[in-house]
Structure 1
Amino acid sequence: MKLTTPRWWYSRERHHAPFTRMMLTPLGWIWAAVTARRIARTTPVTVDAAVIS
């Protein structure tokens, strides 16, 4: 069975872009805030293994 790419994959019109941007921008903000909080709340760990650089 051959699977082909969908027609919208190659669409050059931008009439869907504003809606997509409007829906994904707040999710990007939330993702960035959660990631920043996760990075800020980490605790350093001392590892006894030697590091070779």
Structure 2
Amino acid sequence: MTLYAAFFREGNFRLPMSRFLGKVLTRYGIHISQVNAIGLPRVTHLEFICRVQKIC
């Protein structure tokens, strides 16, 4: 359980996850368990940029 707690804390991951994150994971055919604590903030940052630019 410690590993998952660190993943949630360090990756800033919250449940329920956003639709954007779900679409990215589905698009690339990966499961949330395959994303590491470094990659998750990058996807979240991409989501913020897309929202600011009104791309998604």
| TM-score past 0.5 threshold | no
Query: Which has the higher Rg, Structure 1 or Structure 2?
Result: 1
Q: Answer 1 or 2: which has greater helix percent.
A: 2
TM-score range, shorter chain: 0.3 to 0.5
TM-score normalised according to structure 1 size: 0.36
TM-score normalised according to structure 2 size: 0.35
